[in-house]
Amino acid sequence: MAGRRGVLIGIAGGSASGKTLIAAKIYETLGSERVVILKQDSYYRDLRHLPESVRAQQNFDHPEAFDTPLLCEHLETLLGGGAIEEPTYDFTHHARSSRTRHIAASDVIVLEGILILAEPTLREKMDIKIFVDTDADVRLLRRLQRDVTDRGRTFESVLRQYDESVRPMHLQFVEPSKRWADLVIPEGGHNRVAIDLLTTKISAVLNDRLPADAPEAAAEGRRRAR
């Protein structure tokens, strides 16, 4: 990656809309050696200073719930060719874990999260902006299954959070951010045509950023290796 800036792909959409599946499809199609994935969810503000009962009452679907300055700093580092330690968030206890995930620089950085298109400081860094458009009832069913099974929540607490913050914040912040998208994808990662178009566009952007002599240099390197 020396001498050129990485490509940042932003994937936004409502909670449980299918953002992660699209990110995974990009990862599979372009190859693990070229793509890294960051999640906005990893950058929730650390609430360890609050009692656990108070943490659970926070609005986790508002832009201020995220440590956006840290996320911006990490994106700049990756785009510039450096490595980061991505935070790990404990959704059961609503606090940042002491563990981190080491992420090295790559050609393509995929950032996915419900509110990434609602943040101007994040949008301005993106080369391609995507919004995943999925029906509210489908998203709610997926969220129920995920939060109860994977995050240790109760059925009642998930429904209460959805009614009190998830749905209102979606209408106030997430849905309006769709206007900033370059591509709106219905059906999420199951929309094969959209995924094919997207990966073709990403490849074109990557090729545009290669130094003019890159193909010749690569060919010469292969000849010498024989």
Per-residue pLDDT of 85-110, as tens digits, reads 999 998 878 889 989 999 999 999 99
**Residue 226's pLDDT band (boundaries 50, 70, 90)?**
very low
- Rounded to an integer, what distance in angstroms lies between the CA atom of residue 57 and that of residue 94? 10
CB neighbours of 40 closer than 8 A, spacing ≥ 6?
A: 66, 71, 111, 112, 113, 114, 115, 116
Per-residue pLDDT of 44-63, as tens digits, reads 998 888 888 888 788 999 99
Q: How far is CA 82 from CA 38, 72, 85, 100, 210, in A?
A: 14, 13, 11, 16, 18
Q: What is the DSSP letter of 13?
A: E
Strand partners, 89: 96
For residues 21, 177, 121, 45, the Cα torsion angle rounded to the nearest 10 degrees is: -70
- Rounded to an integer, what distance in angstroms lies between the CA atom of residue 196 and that of residue 194? 5
pTM of the model: 0.84
Domains and CATH numbers, the chain: 7-221 (3.40.50.300)
Share of the chain above pLDDT 90, in %: 51
Q: Which residue has the higher pLDDT, 90 or 40?
A: 40
Six-digit token string for 149: 């099974």
